Amino acid sequence: MARNRPNHSQKRGRFPSTASSDTRTLRRPPEFTRRQAPVVYGKAFIILEDAEKNTFIYKAGAWVPHSASIKECRETCQVKQLPQSVNRMTRYEIRCPEGN
């Protein structure tokens, strides 16, 4: 024999219908936002940063001082800190947009 569940019918009656609620309707249409074109990044390169925030790039078999700091690179490029360090310097992988 089936059991009567008294709480089952009470749960349905608690919630008011959402169609009559003023908070659920849009009072003004949503703003139109333009999609930005996807950014295409170039080939990744490695930069080292020492304790004094000086940066070095690997060119022609040697680490040469780099003009931009990591902070400047973060403004326009993708910067990813790599887990291994070289001679107590932090390694970063930098990818700049194709146009730069």
| Short-list 90, 82, 84, CA closest to 50 | 90
Q: Which amino acid is at 23?
A: T
Model's pTM, two decimal places?
A: 0.62
Question: What is the C-alpha separation between 7 and 38, in angstroms, rounded?
Answer: 53
Q: Is 96 exposed, middle or buried (0-12, 13-18, 19+ CB in 10 A)?
A: middle
Question: What is the C-alpha separation between 21 and 12, in angstroms, rounded?
Answer: 17
Q: Binning pLDDT at 50, 70 and 90, where does residue 36 land?
A: confident
- Mean pLDDT (the chain) is 82
Q: Which amino acid is at 12?
A: R
More confident residue, 24 or 7: 7
Q: Binning pLDDT at 50, 70 and 90, where does residue 81 land?
A: very high
Query: What is the reported pLDDT for 22?
Result: 56
Task: Please report which helix (H) or strand (E) contains residue 72, including its range.
Answer: helix 70-76
Dig out the tokens for 68 from the structure. 């931009």
